[in-house]
Structure 1
């Protein structure tokens, strides 16, 4: 198979196919993010770093926020501008980005969803990301992230024991993927090999990628070193957990968190996060600087 496979990222190269493979018709990821931003009284200016197809950035804009979406993929950005217009979309590498390339003044929140943060494979990458976030945020601004949980793989192998086989139909073509995950312990990476096939005779496409296996205490340490205070760090509920996060009472509108709200704590009742870090997703809310 490897000899005939073409080495490229089928989903990143084809954003419409990405959305078909990972549908989110209820916009749970963006709604979970909006719930977090409202609970902590975040201001309206948001950077969605690693925005992908732009569907989350566009939904956040419908809540009244001013949103910039940034990604390193030109194909994703072009798709976002056409199919999820509204935010400003800019090319930027999350491992090191600069506020002056994105907006004229700092953001009230930086959002990084769907394990995009874990493309920081090295400590230098992670320091670059957190330093960039710090410089892009106004004092008291939030960092909100959702990702795979490195601690899940401590003694657990159910995602590693056998390849995962998935299939779905898009525009009349059936796509089948075989995904193999392996742990690269020296590099602290979760490596993924995915081979795509279709029934139309197209040669197989091989995709290789990797995520950093970040552990909760390690992440706390790195955040503290860059001046962040962790407000939440838990395994759910979230937009990609089972069961998935569901909204509770409607959060306050942007800028109207309520008379009893304070910048240092939640503004409303909302669904309570879990208190553990055992699941395969990790959810982070951190605040930078004074506020």
Structure 2
């Protein structure tokens, strides 16, 4: 429901070059991601100042703004930020890299749709958490939604076999063929995606990757940066099947392919 990697991919990345295509490919008409984030923030008593880091097209930041919060949406893609300002006004949108940022003081940092996993190295992750700690008020919350590295321990059903998706925008059908593979040495889940369209444009091949973080590894990093983990569970959430609905209770398992994290700055 959000954008591609947390790096400026303004050349050769179909979706970050064309945010309206991103929203067509990943529609969220019920604003499930924003509603889930707001539910977590309310449940854990977060204050009104929220940073949505890796905000993409701004849908979720705008939802949180509409819920009465003072929101800054930050992203590394200038194209996404321009789109967000025009189509999802309300928040203040700022250019920033999640691996190191200084955007003011907040009561909560929200990082959805695996944006955190574009921290590919330990230094990247330390930079993100150091920035969160510096920007959060005492007792502030970190809320994240991401892929679960533990899911890929012994499981291969999502790997090495191409999957094909298609959607239509203004009469043009866009198709993507996506293949996921593991880079075990780097602890990365790599994605190769080839886009094609029926308008005669040439195919576009894109490569990206997510860091695979395991639950205990994630707890260790958070504790080292002064956070106490309040919740770490696999479902329900905005990208699970079935997706989160208001009133759902969090599971106590961390076995499925998504992780949902709630941590409080206490150190």
Q: CA offsets per residue over residues 46-94 of structure 1, 9 Å max, x none?
A: 0000000000000000111000000000000000000000000000000
Q: How does 1:89-238 map to 2 (within 5 A)?
A: 89-98=93-102, 102-103=103-104, 106-238=105-237
CA distance in 1, matches of 2:265, 2:180: 34
Q: 2:160, 2:107 → 1: CA distance?
A: 42
The CA deviation at 1:242 is: 0.3
From 73, 76, 79, the counterpart of 1:72:
76
Aligned to 1:81: 85
Q: Report the secondary structure of 1:29's partner residue.
A: helix
How far 1:186 sits from its partner (Å)?
0.3
Q: Say whether the 8 Å CA contact 2:53–2:109 is kept in structure 1.
A: yes
| TM-score, normalising length: structure 1 | 0.87
Q: From the CA coordinates, give the structure whose radius of gyration is larger.
A: 1
Q: With CA pairs under 8 Å and 6+ residues apart, which has the higher RCO, 1 or 2?
A: 1
Counting matched residue pairs gives 257
> Runs in 1 of length 4+ with deviation above 3 angstroms?
none
C-alpha distance in 2 between matches for 1:285 and 1:34: 12
- The alpha carbon displacement at 1:238 in A equals 0.3
Of 269, 273, 278, the residue aligned with 2:250 is 273
User: What's the counterpart of residue 242 of structure 2?
Assistant: 243
Cα deviation, 1:243-291, whole Å, max 9, x if unaligned, reads: 110002xxxxxxxxxxxxxxxxxxxxxx21011111110000000026x
Match of 1:46 in 2: 50
Report the Cα offset of residue 199 of structure 1. Answer: 1.1
Structure 2 unaligned blocks of 5 or more: 1-10
- What SS class does the counterpart of residue 12 from structure 1 fall into? helix
3-state secondary structure, aligned to 2:145: strand
Structure 2 CA distance for aligned equivalents of residues 231 and 173 of structure 1: 45
Structure 2 counterpart of 1:3: none
Q: How far is 1:161 from its partner?
A: 4.0
Asked whether the equivalents of residues 160 and 181 of structure 2 are also in contact (C-alpha less than 8 Å), the reply is no
* 2:261 alignment partner, SS class: strand
CA distance in 2, matches of 1:200, 1:144: 40
Q: Which among 30, 33, 38 is matched to residue 37 of structure 2?
A: 33
CA displacement 1:103-153 (0-9 Å, x = unmatched): 3xx100000000000000000000000000000100000000000110000
Alignment match, 2:17: 13
Aligned to 2:67: 63
What is the rounded CA distance, in whole Å, between the counterparts of 2:144 and 2:155 in structure 1? 23
TM-score, normalised relative to structure 2: 0.95
